Amino acid sequence: MSDASIYLKAAEALRANPAQWAAYESKGHCVVLAGPGSGKTKTLTVKLARLLSEDIQEPRGLACITYNNECARELETRLAALGIEPGRRAFVGTVHSFSLTQIVLPYAKAADMGLPDEFCIATRAERRQALETAYKKVIGGRENPQLLDFTMGTYRRSILNRNSTEWRETDPLMATLVEAFEAELRAMGRIDFDDMPLLAVRALREHEWLQRAILAKYPVLIVDEYQDLGRALHRMVMGLCFSTGMRLFAVGDADQSIYEFNGANPQLLRELAARKDVECVRLRLNYRSGSKIVEASNFALGEARDYEAAEGAEEGTVYFHPQQGSYEHQAAEAFRTVIVDIAKRHPDLEPGDIAFLYPAAWLGDKVAEVAQQVGLSVIRTDTNAIYPRASRLMRWLESCAKWCSGGWQTGTPRFNHLANEGARLFAEEINTPEMRLAFQRALMQCLWSRRDGTLVLRQWLSDVRAAIITDLIVKCRTMKDEGETLDTFIARTQPGKDCEDMTVSQFAGQSEGNDSLHLSTLHSAKGREFSIVIMFGMDQGSIPRNNSTASQKSEARRLFYVGFTRAKSEVHIMHSNLRPSPFVTELQNRLKLE
């Protein structure tokens, strides 16, 4: 089957949903407001395939910007199923990656960005050092400078114009600290992740020729999860799409905006969708959740929405489990009663169909400890996971481990996909057809001789690092922080450490696999779905936090809504009996009235 026929067949499936079809057929700027479980990723990827096949003439392409690497990976997987490999004409990646690889690296000198020659991305250790030095110069004292890192980042992302009165007068001390911190980074020959979109936006604003250069390469800009991407991306969109003529296709849901601390603002999406020169399409049907869960989700959100379960959906159920005692006790109770009752109702359910979602990673520790005691394995996607889930290098190595653990026989993952993904990781160095072929051969030689899932992971990782990764990290300015992440994890696999007994096959199952329970913060669960969701620790003080502002309470409610809408058939809400979250109390009361 040809690539064109694959996507056309997928497109036919959109016809049954008029809103999905309208998004697919859109010709100009289009914003798709997509509720939970509404098939937005399917719509987005099929639309992307159509744009590349019908609307954009080679060698031009399109840029697809996502919130994080997890989203990018999901899109790449779905595009591959439609016969499209990102990299040649389609950029798929985060706003940071787009800013760095498409604007900052190619045009730093020409756009006079004030960066040192051969600058690199700062590692976490280098950022800490720069902040400590800046703190001593600007503030002084014996406080821990790292305590200001979060506030500093928020200030950098919220006020983009450094020449404005707002930048100088809103918090003069913080403005001075930011400038001193960035000066220290430059003296070290470094930029950091927050620098990437800020430098890109500044350069685009100051140089019209740069806008035209980006337009020449990418006449279409796709943005996924628009509500989460913040002011820098919004400013970029406004300049590129409504000044130069780049076409915009954006997807998002203001009700799922949960990253205000990173500069996200749901109002930016609302304003974009309301523009007269933008076609706005709403996806109302929920294909994920049972009808009772869809109905109850309005109460969870605290605002009326007209979402409906798709025709033929099961009913779904919401359970409340008031608890007494410590969180350790509550976690034990979850396995003693809640999990046992779920298993009785769904005897064919696998552990991987169940997810524990919680407001903070330390609550996940309580659940993980009990799971270990009862002999159940878990996959964690929070800050206490065995490695940062945002690491592109670690996720790629995980895929390589999966290939070595039997994937080479089943074709999951395909070796060509592994090689292409690895080449994109190190694209700064692997930038010619000859280099890509040499990388592919070296990777095959390395993995072919290590096709054994029972191998001890520490040796496998060390061998793959030495054979494939070490030289590339040295040569690639963008990968040093990833190398630090890998080294930190390899240290955890050494004798006496917590991952010393891990095998290659166990490492390969850290992202997926139906024999392990999923443990995730509410934030990290966004974009995912599970048959059963257990919302653990839904207490006042955790969601929302004590002394929250009105804005923070609104975001906490949206976070509660995001967790609630991950479920297909059952939602279980566990809370302390004497201090339930007000969102839980309101939801209970509303459901009783129905």
Cα–Cα distances in Å, from 361 out to 272, 385, 419? Answer: 34, 9, 34
For residue 476, pLDDT beyond 60: yes
The dihedral formed by the CA atoms of 135, 179, 236 and 47, expressed in degrees to the nearest 10: -30
Q: What local confidence, expressed as pLDDT, does residue 77 receive?
A: 83
| 219 and 81 together in one domain | yes
Whichever domain contains 358, its CATH number is 3.40.50.300
| 100 and 213 together in one domain | yes
Token pair of 478, please? 């963008």
Q: Which residues are annotated as a binding site for ATP?
A: 34-41
Instruction: Say which range, 332-336, 423-427, 464-468, has the weakest mean pLDDT.
Output: 423-427
The domain boundary residue, chosen from 161, 188, 215: 188
Q: What local confidence, expressed as pLDDT, does residue 431 receive?
A: 87
593 pLDDT band, cuts 50/70/90, is low
In a domain, 196, yes or no: no
| 222 and 89 together in one domain | yes
Q: What tens digit of pLDDT does each residue of 507-552 get?
A: 987 555 578 899 999 999 998 999 999 999 999 999 999 999 999 9
Q: What local confidence, expressed as pLDDT, does residue 387 receive?
A: 84
| 97 and 146 together in one domain | no
Q: What local confidence, expressed as pLDDT, does residue 1 receive?
A: 43
How are beta strands 220-223 and 247-252 bridged, if at all?
Answer: parallel
For residue 285, pLDDT beyond 70: yes
Is the Cα dihedral 442, 445, 449, 451 positive or negative? Answer: positive
Q: What local confidence, expressed as pLDDT, does residue 270 receive?
A: 95
In a domain, 113, yes or no: no
| 409 and 460 together in one domain | yes
In a domain, 325, yes or no: yes
Token pair of 53, please? 């096949």
* Number of domains present in the structure of the chain: 4
Token pair of 245, please? 């003529």
Q: What local confidence, expressed as pLDDT, does residue 85 receive?
A: 73
For residue 242, pLDDT beyond 50: yes
Is the Cα dihedral 76, 80, 82, 87 positive or negative? Answer: positive
Over range 171-187, report the average pLDDT: 96
For residue 148, pLDDT beyond 70: yes
In a domain, 112, yes or no: no
The domain boundary residue, chosen from 237, 252, 283: 283
| 303 and 275 together in one domain | no
Domain of 42, in residue numbers = 4-105+207-283
| 295 and 337 together in one domain | yes
In a domain, 341, yes or no: yes
| 256 and 243 together in one domain | yes
pLDDT averaged over the chain? 92
In a domain, 384, yes or no: no
Q: Which residues are annotated as a binding site?
A: 34-41
| 16 and 61 together in one domain | yes
Instruction: Say which range, 215-229, 240-254, 323-337, 470-484, has the weakest mean pLDDT.
Output: 470-484
In a domain, 110, yes or no: no
% of the chain residues with pLDDT over 70: 98
| 94 and 213 together in one domain | yes
4 pLDDT band, cuts 50/70/90, is low
In a domain, 275, yes or no: yes
DSSP string, 237-266: HHHHHHTS--EEEEEE-GGG---GGGT--H
| 503 and 407 together in one domain | yes
| 398 and 504 together in one domain | yes
| Cα–Cα distance for residue pair 70/536, rounded to 1 Å | 23
Q: What local confidence, expressed as pLDDT, does residue 112 receive?
A: 94
Instruction: Say which range, 203-212, 273-282, 309-318, 340-349, has the weakest mean pLDDT.
Output: 309-318
The domain boundary residue, chosen from 508, 541, 564: 508
